[in-house]
Every structure is written in structure tokens, then in C-alpha cells.
Structure 1
């Protein structure tokens, strides 16, 4: 019997070819009616005999970039039409999600490689299954007039594709071709094809500034050691690893690519994927003292065309001044990158918002930087948060990101950077206004870090709304719980939270904690024995300061003198004795720095955040596998986890010729063991229902693996919750703050 239904589809359903997909389903099931986009997602009025099968197929056959969260169906009056039509978007506001930018699909790639195709060699080919989305969007709903493609009037051929429901470019808002769309050029200009010109420059050892989806990259030939050294010198970036771009065949030549790695590389998000360096060697200057390389596949037609012309891997590092956000405008690039680049690869499609490349790992799965390709994807809130109010959370001072809660979803925004930098803070303010406008977000309360002087916290307090201040490490714990769908009333967990620094609930500086808690609150169950942060923030930049504090604490003053005698030790010790700018801190990150300094790893100064710890991990990964069962003594007496005894053993091992690789591995194993034991004990006595691993130190793949192994060795039935789709570092703080604020509201209403 013929019936009529009103069908609402919620989720990531705009800008992914969903309306033509519905149109095609309607032809398949002989359905009449109409489909449109509106502020809540996709709305369908359908009538026919096979409505059940039609509705089921909406979920099961959805387009590749779609994410269907809900299909709601209710009877409605017959429309009185004998066709099925796609009609214009309606309504103001924004209740649906925007699709992240997606890498070039196979069909578009085949076209730009086919000399017989009208898009042969065109650098901006796209369709509903790929191409720019969030980086070109100015406002919702997602229609061409609301994007930076608005100035480009479609030619007749593109218009015919755009208006044909059977075509994969139906309502693909960035659709274009060489006759009507954006163009690419090289500066300084020369005769001939710009792709060929750019490739020749790269092969001749030049550094190019290339405009991509979310900003400019600085690119050069990844096989040219001299050019890489030139880029490092110009950018004043002596050691921080460069990202690389190559085809899959190129990547396999220089790195180990397992099935999970290959799947992640080929994901529509096209992130930078950390891979073990194997096979042929690339210049050491790409990633000094590291055993992994960050690789990504080309993700725009422009990148594909350049790589084909160059036929070798390219360095692709962020185009920015040190500490500043990535450059996105053409004139901005000329002004700021002129000192770095020999030439520019420009185009005339504006970038609406900057997005760095996402950085990820496949084994264990983790996101180190959540940005292009992942944002603005959302996470469903766990059970119990259905009635959560709209919340805006502003994260921390470093690796800043914003989180919005609305309608049972959490939108964790893109990586912004360090808010100490004025231009990054400007980008933070713009992102706050941008997300609120795009998603019609009207928060009832805001959340921020407990630290009163963080710029994000000051901003939150200035919003004129109720403010929920959240302790830093509690936010880490809650972000991991939320990502893993832990129910609001799911019970307490043991959180191993290891990171750099965060203001503790007792006013001291924390960073190596075992917390017993949930969304509602926490207790500090165990912690790393505090040591002075000599010079405050200087201690995070100069590892010798942390080593001095720990060695003096262990009574090894003479060893500290021998190792760091060229540093101002007397002044540093006086500061420790008198408590002058030397707050006590339980940071695991600073303990990594201390061990690294004693092994001679950048003791005087780190050239980038986390350098000492990253190099220590790389060193440990080179140790013989059978050393994994050995570990140093880090004792746990009551809540105090004390590494003092470890230092004398490290000194003994060094004096007896034990390699730095083995010492680094034994330290990792010791730290993992003692924290696993403290958390596992809470599970053993039924105080905790699971163990959470969070904080920036758990982006260390070796520490992550060893902690899980030590928990397994305890032979307890324990569920381990770790980050996979949100960062374990401070980039995930805002999610934790948001759900804690929501939990408090729901409890106190």
C-alpha cells in the first residue's frame, strides 16, 4: 500500500552527495517526493510502496563521506507529486555538521591523469566524494554562495554536472574546471606550465611555498640534504622533524608500511602518519635522532600533479614564522615566507580558515594533532548526557583547541597552537567566533582550566556566563572517558595521567598522577615525588635544570657537578634552597627531560617542545628486545612514587659501559611498571572499574605499550581506555572540560 513519510536524517550529511544519493535511492525504489538540506540535516518527504526498504538503505548504502547518526521517520500527508525532486536548502541556524576536507578520490584522480578528459592536469578537480569543505566554508548551510568558490561562475559544462542528480558532481559546491575555476601560478612567473616550472625548481634545489587546502607549506626535495639544511637554516628550525609527502610506492621505499598504516594513509582525512624508517635512507636532516618519519599521501590534485612531475618525495612543513600560525593568504605569504622560499606556488581560491595537517599513528592508534581532515567531525556524547546544555570549553595554554557541546554531540575544534603567541591568540579568538557562528552555538555555561592566568581561562571568564573551572589532569581523564563512551554514571576509573605540567587542586604543579575519579570529581591517589622546577618555565626548555633537581634530591651532587659543570649550578641551587621561582612539580615530562640530560641528549636546551623525550624514546626503541624485562627501581611508598634510587643505578650502568639505548629502555619500563601497579591496585580492590591512559606522555608509543603490558602482567581483569580519535595531549583538554561542566550542570539542576 502506498504511504507517505517525513524522514529526518541527522549526522554528517551535508556536502557529501547525500541529496543525489537519496534521489538515486528514490529511482531505485520507485519513490516520489522531495529532499532538501536544512539546519537540522537532511529532510525527506517520501511516498511509495517500498518505504521500509528505502529507509533502511539510507543507513546501509550512505555515501563514503557521510556519517548517519539518526534516521527518524513519521507518517505525513501525501505530497501529490509523481516525481522525486531535490529542492533548495531552507532555514537559518545550524544543527547539522560540516564535512571535513577530504583527499582526492580515485575518480577525480583518474580524470586529471587522462589526456582525453576535460579536467586533465587541472589542479582543483573535485566531486561530492572529495575536495575542500571546511577550509572554504564561510557560513551554513553548505551551498556554493557560502563558500570561497562563490566568485567563480560555473561554465555550461560544470553547470550541467552540478544540476544532474545522476552525476557524482551534483551539487558539489566547489565544482570547477580550467575554463571557469581557480587557477594556479608560480611567482616569480615564467613561461610555460606552472606545474612543470614548480617541479623544475624543486629538482634544482629550491624551497617553494605551496598553497594547499588549509594553508601554505614550505616544500623541497626530500632527497636533497643540502636543500634540507638550507630550509632548516632559513627557518631557524635545527631539529624538529619535517613532514614528508610521497606516493605509496615512494613511502614503502623509505618506511615500514603495515596494513593499518596503509589504511590510515589512504583515509579520506589524509593525515601525516608516523612510520618506522626502514629501507633506503633519506638525509638525516629530515628527522634528526628519530626512528620514525611523518608521511602523508598527496591529498589535492595540485599535490598529485607536483609529485608526478617531481617523481621523488617532498618535504612538506608548515609555512609559518616560528611560533606563529600557518600562513593562508597570498599577500601574507609574500610578506612572511619570502625569507624562506625561493618561489611561490599560488592559487586564487581563498582559504576561509587555516587548518594544519593532522598527525596520527596507526599502531597504537592515536591522534597527535587533530586538524585538517578530522575537523569539524563530532563525537556522540556518552549515555547520560542526553540533556546536557550547550557548553563552550576553551582548553589550556598550549596545543589550544576549543570544544562545543550541543544536541548530544561534542565538536572538538582544530589545533591552534600556543596561546602565548599573540597571533595564535588572535586565531583562537577568531575560531571561537567562527565556530559559534557556523554552528549557531549559544552556550549556557563555559569551561576552562583551573589556572587563572591562562589566556583561554581569562577569555572564558570574560564571556559573562557561568564558568566551570576544571583541574588540568581531571580534564585529561574525562576527555578519555568521553571519547570511549564511558557513561555519565559508569563508575570511577583509575587514571594514569602523565604530562608536562598543570596546576593542581592543591596549588602545586602536577604532571605525574594516578587519579581515582569520573566526570563528577576525583581524588589524587598517587603521584610522582615532586622536584623543583628551577627557573619555572625555563625548566621545560633546559633539561639540565630537571636533572640537577632530581640528582641533588637523590644525594648525587657530585654527579650533577660532573655532568653540568658548565651551567650556573650555584645560582640554580640557591634558587632551589630558597624556593625562588622553583615550584615543586610532579611532572613526568620533566622526569623524561632529566633522564635524557644525564644521557647527553640536548642537556642545555631543547630546540622544540618534547625534543628530549622524543629522542629518549627513539633511543629506547633501538635497545635489544630481551632488555624489556629489566627496569630500574622507582619505589612507591603510599601515594609517593619516588625515582630517587633509580639515579645511582643509571650512573652505575653508564660507568660500566651499558649502552644509552638500554638505559633509556629500562627507564621507560620502570616508569610504566610503577604507574601500572598503582592504577591496577585500584582495580584489584574494586575501587576502579577501568584504567585510563591520558596526558601528553602517552603519545610516546613505547610508554603506551609498556604500560598496557605491565597492566596485563598483573593478571587482573581490567579494561584499559586510551585515546584514539582525540589527542592525549593538551589538544584534548577542552573535551574533558566540556563534559565535566555538563556533568556538574546535570547533577545540580
Structure 2
């Protein structure tokens, strides 16, 4: 017979709140092993005794057969003495208090197939219960108040289990064995409906909501991570009303559709799109719009893409099933404030926007927006990393010497906490431009520090002194402060995303970033590794007349670029005759006109020149609409000179203006512009050839057409290209880059091949 052994097992990773203990319990019972399993602050622990072959099979299965939501980082085994009085049972033990926290918390997960089947079964006791969940799905991060992940440390603590739920929770053979949010209509959260002008009339909350949506009302709906605003997506008047009340003139809305069949009526998802839509993360997926689809045109004006998501909570499944159509589902907030998630706040802040409220009494501990992704070249490009992804860490390919906090940028802010080989990139915070968002930012850092037991010794921040994230960092005492140049952080983020150190040729194209020479960067070629960089090329600099006003009014950038090129576009000048000469004089004088090499501002200028967008209602709008205008079949380029690795934007503007004068169609000009930018990126990299790998980062590379053409051009010249997949290319990935730079500088005392360490 096989000799008997006993081992202690420690499992690290996302192993709490995902049914790992029940899985281990069932595995041990199947193999007839004795011992126990439990949760603690460091993850999952177990002691197992039995024949050595069966113990080995148990340890192997922990990694290879883990539950769907588990992410097993490591399984450590320590031999122990065989117990003399071992009991022939395997049990789940209580979680001990205290200890250093090193466990990981699962992201919220879309409703699983088993729960959906129960939800739709008239004979099931949870039939049409909007809070059904199990070990494989349901709320996680948004309800967690602390670790270990046990019910008392979640917002479900106030809902004592009924006898039926308790039996399931304690039954090793039940699908809800040790499922912390387990509940039912008897003991769990309840829905209610409130309409501003009348009390509910006795109908169910779901029926009242469906009736309100069909009547054209704007309904605020409490979801997993906050409130959403919903209207009938096929009603022009309802969508227009929502736009007017929310003061959201043009930015596309996301829509929720009942199922894949409904999705195919409005978008062409393709294989990758369908896989994303039906994944446990259930993000908003940006997909090509179907011509002549049923959606109101006001859902996504002047846009060939639609952001689509499927129901990801039981409540959404019930609502969309009863409604029988698609709804707009957009974050409920006021102006640029973060998503509303507290009930009293929602009733007060949304009362001028929403006609009615569908809410419930399960508290949300951490507000979390929906994630946004798009398929690009067979991969997933994250545009906003939040619900379904956060707080799962980005695993670093080497450990950080000390705990690090990366404070992120000003726009599309995230923060990042790093310990050991885990970088915890936060959920999307938003633009740090008002008190509510700053409060969400500081509260988020405090919660994450406690959740993951991180006490930063090093705090990395942007060089821009007026960023609120920089001010927050510099106000922290007793820590080492590390300033990281914005575009170096972009490239470092791409390196960390791909588990590489560099050096690479980094191409960082975005809107604005504080340069080390006092100008505003944004069209940069950097020879970079994690520790440092050298600026080896850039787009030609031009003035930004009016500073921030030039971001809001792209025609100003067109005026500056045209003046630098020595030409005038009469049509554009006529549209702004009253202010044109003053803006040109301002640019020439340098008064309130900082120099910029920004690729984002170049896209703005071309968009204005083509009549796409003179003023914007949201950040990046002009560039987004220019991409939508471009004819994807056009392959022509403009001749552009490169002098000492500086790209002549004058050549680009002259060529665009000449094409326009020759009555070349706008879609052709827009495509030639995109192709030309891709071409010059490859040409500059070829001239430099200081590295064989090119890293592409920055918000401009969220332009799928530009990214695709740039990768093709670089591959044609023999370069290896790395891009983002685990964090966004935009400023949402900056915090990871800051952490990677700070850790690299601390970890090495050798001289970096790159020069700047700012």
C-alpha cells in the first residue's frame, strides 16, 4: 500500500469568494483524504492526510481544476508529521482573525448558467428572485468591506440567513456551500420602485419599471457598482430627454440588450465580441454598428460603433426579459462627478434627471463603473478597466522591493498599489476635477490599502505640479516621493503590461503631458526602459492658443497649425471670423500659448479643418469622430518630412488643406491622415533603430484604425510591437507605469541605458 503522508498547503491568488473551500472539500472527500481547509488573511490554507499518491493528486487538482472564478497564483506544500489520532473526515474550519493580509479579492461576476436556470424555473424557491447567486457568480468586490472574504465582512452582514439558506450554506454537496452572499426571497435584499410624482400602486417593482420605460421615462436603476440611468433605446424622444437632462450632447451611450440574438440585430460582434459579451466579466464591448438597426440615432450620433453589454445581474436579466427590447444604460452621475452609489445620494442628486427609481436595500461598499473593451487585431483592448476586472491584480514579472503607491494622472484616473509581485490597479475613478471625484479617489486608496494590507513606502506621481493626484502624493509624509514623466509612465505601463523591462523604442501619443523641457508633450518617441528614458524624437511643436481653451475648441489648434504652415483655410476662418485674428496673434506671441508636440491636438486640428468638430463636448471627441469619418479602404499617404527625428506637422497640414481644396472627399482625407501618422511612426523608428521592439501607448492609440495601420507599418520594417492588453493605453494605465518605474529605480543601482529619470 502507498505510504501515508500529511502536508500543509497554502494557496495564493484569487481564492476567496470563488468557492475554493467547497471545491477543496469536495476534492478531499472524493479522494477520501482527511484534514481541513479554511480562509485566512493570506488566502486559503489546508492540512491534508492520506496515501501519498492521493495527496499528490489533491495538490495537482487545486491548480488544474480550480473553480471558474479562481485565479491560482501559487500552491505551496510543506511536509508534516502524520497525526496519530487523525479523524477520517475533511472539514471546513472557521477563519482565524488577524494576520498579514495577502489574499486577493475576486471581481464581481456575471450571473452563471445554473443560477439563470433557477431564476427561470417556476418550481424553484428562487424563481424570479433578483439577487440569486452562488459560489460561481454574483457580487464580490463591490460588497467587500474587509478580508477574509466572509459574510460578516460584506454588506450582506445585515441579512441573517433563513433556515433554508443556512442548510444550503452548510451542505458540502450543495452548489451554495459556503457561498457568502447566499440569500433568497425570505431572508435576502428586496427591490422597491419609487416614482417622483406618485407612490407605487401595488404592482411589482419590476412591472412598474417596465411600464415607466415603455412610457418614455428616465429610470435610475441600482446595479452592482452604482446607479445607472435607463431609457428605451429605440425611442428617439426618450434618448433625447436623457441627453438633455444629463447635459450629454454627443457622447455615445451604451446599450444593454436581452441576449446575443438581440445584440446581433444592432452590432456585428464576431467571435471575439461574442466571447467578451458572454464572459463572466460582462463588459461594455465597442462593436461595429449594423446599418438600419432598430436603435434611436441619438444613442450614438456620428459613430459607426455601439457600446453593447448583456445583462450581468439577475435583476438585469429579469428587467430586459420583461421589457423585451434594448435599453440605454449609462452611469448615473451629475456632470463630471463619479457614479452615484448611495441610495440617499441617488434620490437627491438624480431627482432632476430621473422620473423614477428602481432600487434595493443591499448596500454597495465600493462604487464601480462598467468596464469598456473593444476587439482589435484579435486581441482585447481595454478602454476602461473597472467592474469585472478590478481588483484582480496585474502580476508583475519581478517583485517590488517595498510597497509602492502610484497616484495616477488627472484624467481617467486610476491609482495602483503594489506589493510583492502584485500590482493592484484600481477601478476607474474618473477625472480629478471636482470634490466628489477627489473624495472617491482618497476613499478608494484608503479602502484598498486596508483590503490588501499595503503601507506605501514609495509614492510615485506625475511631474505636473497642478494635478490633484500629484498634490495628494506630495502631501503624504514619511514616504519617498518619486516623480515620473507622463509619457515615460505610458511606456513603462506598456512594458509592465507585457512583463518586460526594455529597452524599447516607445511611441507615446496622447493629448497632453508635462514635458521635462517646459513644453507640453504628446507626440513622443522615447528610448526607454523601466528606470529611465531619452527623448529621441517627437512631432513638431506648435502653440496651443488659449491653453486649455484649445482642448475644448479644436479650431484653435487648426488655426495654430495652419499659421505655422503659412496657409489659411478660408472656410474654417469664416466660421470663426470674429476671433480668428486674435487667436493667431495669441499663438504667434506665445501669450497663454504653450508649445505642444501633442498628437491628440494634431488630430483635433485636422478634425476642425475637415469640418468634423470645431468644439468638443467630451474629451477626445474630435479625434473619435475623425476616426469614424475615415474610409478604411483608403491606403494613400501624404509625403511628410522628418528632420533630425522631428516629424513635420506642417507637411501634414499642407497636404490635408491641399486635398480639401481639390474637393477630395472627407473620408479619403481622414484615412490618408491616419495612414500618414502610421507611416511616419514606422519611419522614425526605422531611422532610430536603437531597439528592435516598439511599445505603443497613450490615448491616441485607442484609435483602432491608427493602431492597426501603425502595427502593420512597423511589422513591415521588421519591428516587434507590444501594445496594451491588461490595462488601458490611455491615462487609466498611467498608475501602473508609475509603480513600475519607481520599483525599477529602487531595485537597481546600475546605470540605465536611458538618460532621464524624471
Q: Pick the TM interval, shorter chain.
A: over 0.9
Q: Does 1:263 align with 2:275?
A: yes
Matches for 1:545-584 after TM superposition, within 5 Å: 545-557=556-568, 559=570, 562-584=573-595
Q: Does 1:441 align with 2:454?
A: yes
Q: CA deviation at 1:624?
A: 5.7
- CA, structure 1 residues 22+681, in 2 after alignment: closer, same or farther (shift >3 Å)? farther
TM-score by length of 1: 0.96
The secondary structure found in structure 1 opposite 2:593 is coil
The secondary structure found in structure 1 opposite 2:72 is strand
Matches for 1:185-334 after TM superposition, within 5 Å: 185-188=192-195, 189-246=200-257, 247-279=259-291, 280-334=293-347
In the other structure, the counterpart of 2:13 is: 11
Q: CA deviation at 1:352?
A: 0.3
CA distance in 2, matches of 1:729, 1:268: 24
Deviations 1:438-467 (A, max 9, x none): 111111111000111211111111111110
Q: Does 1:466 align with 2:480?
A: yes
The secondary structure found in structure 2 opposite 1:400 is coil
Single out whichever of 204-213 and 76-85 deviates more from structure 2.
Answer: 76-85
Deviations 1:51-75 (A, max 9, x none): 1111111111000000001011110
Single out whichever of 113-122 and 551-560 deviates more from structure 2.
Answer: 551-560
Q: CA deviation at 1:652?
A: 2.4
Instruction: Confirm or deny: 8 A CA contact 2:715 2:721 kept in the other structure.
Output: no
Q: CA deviation at 1:561?
A: 6.4
Instruction: Confirm or deny: 8 A CA contact 2:400 2:419 kept in the other structure.
Output: no
Q: Does 1:27 align with 2:29?
A: yes
Q: Does 1:664 align with 2:665?
A: no
Matches for 1:606-625 after TM superposition, within 5 Å: 606-620=616-630, 623=631, 625=633
CA distance in 2, matches of 1:429, 1:567: 44
Instruction: Confirm or deny: 8 A CA contact 1:125 1:301 kept in the other structure.
Output: yes
In the other structure, the counterpart of 1:655 is: 661
Q: Does 1:516 align with 2:527?
A: yes
Instruction: Confirm or deny: 8 A CA contact 1:633 1:643 kept in the other structure.
Output: no
Instruction: Confirm or deny: 8 A CA contact 1:495 1:679 kept in the other structure.
Output: no
Deviations 1:633-655 (A, max 9, x none): 23211121112122232222223
Aligned length: 734
Q: Does 1:709 align with 2:720?
A: no
CA distance in 2, matches of 1:646, 1:415: 35
> 633, 651, 654: which is aligned to 2:639?
633
Deviations 1:332-387 (A, max 9, x none): 111111111111001000110100000001224210001111000101112xx335
Q: CA deviation at 1:534?
A: 0.9
In the other structure, the counterpart of 1:169 is: 176
Instruction: Confirm or deny: 8 A CA contact 2:400 2:743 kept in the other structure.
Output: no
Deviations 1:698-745 (A, max 9, x none): 11100100001111222x1x3211001101000000000001000111
Q: Does 1:646 align with 2:652?
A: yes
Q: CA deviation at 1:283?
A: 1.4
In the other structure, the counterpart of 1:696 is: 699
Instruction: Confirm or deny: 8 A CA contact 1:17 1:168 kept in the other structure.
Output: no
In the other structure, the counterpart of 2:727 is: 726
Instruction: Confirm or deny: 8 A CA contact 2:253 2:329 kept in the other structure.
Output: yes
The secondary structure found in structure 1 opposite 2:365 is coil
The secondary structure found in structure 2 opposite 1:557 is coil
Instruction: Confirm or deny: 8 A CA contact 1:634 1:671 kept in the other structure.
Output: no
Instruction: Confirm or deny: 8 A CA contact 1:238 1:607 kept in the other structure.
Output: yes
In the other structure, the counterpart of 1:378 is: 393
CA distance in 2, matches of 1:261, 1:388: 39
Instruction: Confirm or deny: 8 A CA contact 2:525 2:535 kept in the other structure.
Output: yes
CA distance in 1, matches of 2:677, 2:400: 40
The secondary structure found in structure 1 opposite 2:6 is strand
Q: CA deviation at 1:558?
A: 5.6
In the other structure, the counterpart of 1:674 is: 680
Q: CA deviation at 1:308?
A: 0.4
Q: Does 1:160 align with 2:132?
A: no
Single out whichever of 580-589 and 166-175 deviates more from structure 2.
Answer: 166-175
Q: CA deviation at 1:29?
A: 1.4
CA distance in 2, matches of 1:595, 1:16: 50
CA distance in 2, matches of 1:485, 1:264: 24
Instruction: Confirm or deny: 8 A CA contact 1:692 1:720 kept in the other structure.
Output: yes
Instruction: Confirm or deny: 8 A CA contact 1:17 1:129 kept in the other structure.
Output: yes
CA distance in 1, matches of 2:643, 2:688: 15
CA distance in 2, matches of 1:185, 1:143: 27
- CA, structure 1 residues 724+563, in 2 after alignment: closer, same or farther (shift >3 Å)? farther
Q: CA deviation at 1:567?
A: 4.4
CA distance in 2, matches of 1:599, 1:362: 28
Instruction: Confirm or deny: 8 A CA contact 2:4 2:82 kept in the other structure.
Output: no
Instruction: Confirm or deny: 8 A CA contact 2:394 2:726 kept in the other structure.
Output: no
In the other structure, the counterpart of 2:736 is: 735
Q: CA deviation at 1:208?
A: 0.4
The secondary structure found in structure 2 opposite 1:70 is strand
The secondary structure found in structure 2 opposite 1:254 is coil
Q: CA deviation at 1:388?
A: 2.4
Instruction: Confirm or deny: 8 A CA contact 1:445 1:468 kept in the other structure.
Output: yes
The secondary structure found in structure 2 opposite 1:723 is coil
CA distance in 1, matches of 2:578, 2:548: 17
In the other structure, the counterpart of 2:63 is: 59
Deviations 1:259-318 (A, max 9, x none): 111111111111000010015242110011000000001000000000000000110011
Instruction: Confirm or deny: 8 A CA contact 1:680 1:691 kept in the other structure.
Output: no
CA distance in 1, matches of 2:276, 2:446: 32
CA distance in 2, matches of 1:542, 1:421: 21
CA distance in 2, matches of 1:177, 1:561: 63
CA distance in 2, matches of 1:681, 1:567: 44
Instruction: Confirm or deny: 8 A CA contact 2:632 2:671 kept in the other structure.
Output: no
Instruction: Confirm or deny: 8 A CA contact 1:208 1:341 kept in the other structure.
Output: yes
Q: Does 1:401 align with 2:431?
A: no
CA distance in 1, matches of 2:44, 2:367: 28
Q: CA deviation at 1:601?
A: 1.5
Instruction: Confirm or deny: 8 A CA contact 1:551 1:559 kept in the other structure.
Output: no
Matches for 1:530-545 after TM superposition, within 5 Å: 530-545=541-556
- CA, structure 1 residues 467+289, in 2 after alignment: closer, same or farther (shift >3 Å)? same
Cα RMSD, aligned residues only: 1.3
The secondary structure found in structure 2 opposite 1:568 is helix
In the other structure, the counterpart of 1:139 is: 146
> 476, 482, 486: which is aligned to 2:490?
476
CA distance in 2, matches of 1:398, 1:433: 20
> 583, 592, 605: which is aligned to 1:594?
605
- CA, structure 1 residues 278+558, in 2 after alignment: closer, same or farther (shift >3 Å)? closer
CA distance in 2, matches of 1:387, 1:341: 47
CA distance in 2, matches of 1:681, 1:160: 70
The secondary structure found in structure 2 opposite 1:126 is coil
CA distance in 2, matches of 1:211, 1:558: 50
Q: Does 1:388 align with 2:401?
A: yes
Query: Structure 1: 5+ residue runs without aligned partners?
Result: none
TM-score by length of 2: 0.95
Deviations 1:213-253 (A, max 9, x none): 00000001101111101111111111000010012111111
Instruction: Confirm or deny: 8 A CA contact 1:544 1:564 kept in the other structure.
Output: no
